[in-house]
Every structure is written in structure tokens, then in C-alpha cells.
A and B are shown apart, each in its own frame.
Chain A
Amino acid sequence: NAGVTQTPKFQVLKTGQSMTLQCAQDMNHNSMYWYRQDPGMGLRLIYYSASEGTTDKGEVPNGYNVSRLNKREFSLRLESAAPSQTSVYFCASSEGNRRTGELFFGEGSRLTVL
């Protein structure tokens, strides 16, 4: 019953460093998402993938890249981290497309950029 698994759970970076957040789901879902959660702002969509090999920008894509490696895995990369990217990042998946809801979330990855 793993559901959506994210790694790492915590990471501290210096400005300009790069890193990749990994996400995998075992529910055979088609759609996968990356969100960031900031205080007072709820969750904002960074990128979305409807299927392997396809990705779409969300509300806040600048400074990020993604890769949908296969149906299970969807990674988020920060090429040159900035303090504004300090946040909690959530990966999610859904059976249908983004229109129909229910999202299943991972436990989150807390990133601090110094």
C-alpha cells in the first residue's frame, strides 16, 4: 500500500546548487503532478503529466524541469536553486485527467535553499 512515494523528505541546498526530487506511484495512474505548498497560498501546480512522455506547465513552472520517465515515475529538477524555491513540494497522481479530481498525494519533500 505504498501509494505515492517521494524522495528525499528533507533537503538543504545552497543557492545555485541543483537537485532532483523523485516521485513514484504504484496505483497505475495516468496523470501525475508536482505542487508546491507555501504558507497562506495553498498548493500551486508546477507541472503536470497526462501520460509517459508528455508534460504541461502549471501555474508556477519557472525554475523547474520535469521528466515523466515511465508511467510510474515523475521527477522534478531544480537546475539552479534560489531562496524563492524554499517550499514543501508534493507529488500527486490521479486516475483520470486533471479535470475529474481525486488526487492522491505523497508525504511531501521539504526543501530549504540558503
Chain B
Amino acid sequence: GDSVTQMEGPVTLSEEAFLTINCTYTATGYPSLFWYVQYPGEGLQLLLKATKADDKGSNKGFEATYRKETTSFHLEKGSVQVSDSAVYFCALSVHDMRFGAGTRLTVKP
């Protein structure tokens, strides 16, 4: 079935470091891909999305490119801030939304 695998956390970085969170997927058909973010004590909110191969989603300095050849949608940010500390979920949507297990990011000043 459709599924998402993302890198296990937790990930701890210093402020201004480069961030990569890996995400790969398995899907029948042509999925849309998403990154959601969950800040402490809150529900998930959409960070970015891509609906077809080679699309790049971007928001708040985060980027992810839909790579069909490697079935990947890795999340990147060039310079993280303390306020980026959160749990990040990769997700795909074909017939319904399927979420990865989440990766907790902590950014230290």
C-alpha cells in the first residue's frame, strides 16, 4: 500500500545550520506530496506541497523537490532558527492522506 518513510529523529542542530530531513515514498498512482509541521502544543499545519514530478514546494525558507526517479521529497532549509523547533511530517495523498512517523527537530541558540 501507499506509505511514507522519513528519517528518524530526533535531530538537534545549532542556529544557522543547514537542515535536511529525508523522506521517501511508495505509492500506486501519482501522489501529491506534503510536509506538515507541528509546533509544541499545536495541531499540524501545512508547510509546503508539490503535486507532480519535479515540482518544488517552498515556504518560510523551507524547500522540497518532488523526485519521481528516486521517490523522494526531502525537506531542506539553508539556515535554521530556534523558532523552527518542531516535529515535521512527510505525507502523501493518492486515495487518502498517509503520514510518516514524524521527525523532531530541536534548534539550539
Question: A residues touching B (Cβ–Cβ < 8 Å)?
Answer: 4, 40-45, 48, 58, 90, 92, 98-108
Contact = CB atoms under 8 A, between A and B. Distances in A.
8 contacts: A41-B101, A43-B44, A45-B96, A45-B97, A98-B93, A98-B95, A99-B94, A108-B42
Given A40-B101, A42-B102, A43-B89, A103 B46 contact: yes
A-side interface mostly: mixed
B43 A105 contact: yes
B101 A100 contact: no
Contacts of A106: 43
A17 to B, nearest CB: 25
A99 B36 CA distance: 16
A40 B100 CA distance: 9
A101 B94 CA distance: 9
B99 A58 contact: no
A101 B95 contact: no
B101 A103 contact: no
A101 B44 contact: no
Nearest to A108: B43
B49 interface: yes
Given A42-B89, A101-B32, A90 B96 contact: no
B12 interface: no
A99 B96 contact: yes
B26 interface: no
A98 B31 CA distance: 12
